[in-house]
Chains A and B, each alone.
Chain A
Amino acid sequence: MRLLTAALLATLMVAPGVAAKDPEGIYKTAEAKHFTRAEGVELSPAFTDYLYAELRSELAKTKLFVQVIGEGEAVEDADAANSVVIEGAITEYKKGNRATDAILGGYGVGARSLKLDVNLTRRSNKQNLGVVKVHVKVSPRWNEDVMAKVAAHQIAHEVKKGLKEKAKG
């Protein structure tokens, strides 16, 4: 009886953890591309490079993809159907106001703002797997690269959410 109770307790403790564990490697590869910029977006050229690097790093952390490949890399034909291409555009950037942020920063006034549109497509047939819209707001005291890091983290989170829903549904 004691053994049975112990086994039952152990099952109850382990089961939620197993159920909550993320599915690993649903897709074979993910190719992240450099984001394009809409007219009027004034960001340094290094920003796009850093965002690309951070996005690849964050996508690898999601464990949704077996491999996160670089832009323009070839994929085996057998893996193409199970591969995703992530491309996007920076649609809006506001550099914020330090003075306003210092006075009304708690309400998000004067913050740096970045808007991005991200498209997910299947590599083999260019099927649309979803569109992600991301809006990042950071303090104007932080530099552009910190904003890129926050944006990449948010994009990877949204991509993971979207693709997991797609895989389930």
Chain B
Amino acid sequence: MAKREVTEAKMFSQRCALVSAGILLGCALTPRAGRADEPKPTPENTIHIQLAAPVPPQKFAKPPKFFISEVIDRSGNPQPMLVLRERGGVFLDRQPTQIAREAIEQSLKAADLLAPDAASADLVMQIYLFHFGLAQGSGLDFFGKVEFSVMVKNLKTEESQEVQAKGTSIANAAVRKKNIQKNVQANIEGALEDAVRNLLRGTQLKEAVTSLQKNNPSASAAAPGGEMAFIQGNGDKGKSFKSKVQER
């Protein structure tokens, strides 16, 4: 009788061990994404970022026409559309590169400084986006940051100059999910507006435009380029040209 009880107890403990091993194996094999609350974009947690109003650019002595050739994401962020991971996540509805492009184009268009294509533009802009969204702050509030660098290029002279722009915004933290989303949206919009203003009203852009337009050879654009270059060449070539003319 006693022997039978010992055998039953042994079997019970073996079953328990098997069940717990199964649970542990199951936990280990379950993908991490499935267990942790990895946020997914839904219409409820997606925000739309845009400028409330176009940013008026500074006044240029000779207003140029700009064209934005491309916007390149250099943030190194694997999930550029996820701006906040906590509380179910907050997502952007478009890529940050697209949002930045639209904001700058909107402001340039409002001031009649936007060219329809690269061929008709005086200066072409290539934008490198370094940061878009929230940055690490004190934790007491949301710290929005938009940072980009613009390569302004004169296609006629092939000269270019770099202009940097940075926008920041600080908004109050919130407890309710709805308010978090609202504050994050206002914060990023504020930072974007600040960055666009920093670019279009910055002294760096003014200096770049002045420098690139100064070096723009308007005479060479009017006359056929080859002959002009030949006449303005070095001494030997100039002399040989003169002698040929004299011979004629």
Contact = CB atoms under 8 A, between A and B. Distances in A.
Interface of A: 46, 49-50, 52-54, 56-57, 69-74, 143, 145-146, 148-149
Contact of B197 (A52, A73, A143, A145): A73
B135 to A, nearest CB: 7
Contacts of A71: 166, 198
Nearest to B141: A149
A72 B204 CA distance: 7
Nearest to A150: B138
Contact of B143 (A53, A72, A73, A74): A53
B138 A74 contact: no
Closest 3 CB pairs of A and B: A53-B168, A145-B138, A70-B198
Interface residues of B, number: 22
Given A72-B203, A73-B198, A74-B202, A145 B136 contact: yes
Given A71-B166, A72-B202, 20 more contacts: A50-B137, A50-B143, A53-B168, A53-B169, A54-B170, A56-B168, A57-B169, A57-B170, A70-B168, A70-B202, A72-B198, A72-B204, A73-B198, A73-B203, A74-B201, A143-B138, A145-B143, A146-B139, A146-B140, A149-B140
Contact of A148 (B135, B138, B168, B169): B138
Given A53-B168, A72-B203, A73-B203, A145 B198 contact: no
Contacts of A49: 135, 145, 166, 168
Contacts of A143: 138-139
Interface in B28-44: none
B122 interface: no
A152 B202 CA distance: 24
Interface in B189-248: 194, 197-198, 201-204, 206
A56 B145 CA distance: 13
A112 B200 CA distance: 39
Contacts of B136: 46, 50, 145
Contacts of B160: none
B165 to A, nearest CB: 8
Nearest to A60: B170
B133 interface: no
Contacts of B96: none
B166 A74 contact: no
A40 B226 CA distance: 58
A46 B167 CA distance: 14
Nearest to B58: A74
A145 B139 CA distance: 8
7 contacts: A53-B143, A70-B167, A70-B168, A71-B166, A72-B198, A73-B201, A145-B138
Contacts of B206: 74
B170 A53 contact: yes
Nearest to A145: B138
Contacts of A69: 197, 201
A145 B201 CA distance: 29
Contacts of A72: 198, 202-204
B206 to A, nearest CB: 6
Q: Which of B139, B167, B168 neighbours the largest number of chain A CB atoms within 10 Å of its CB? A: B168
Nearest to A148: B138
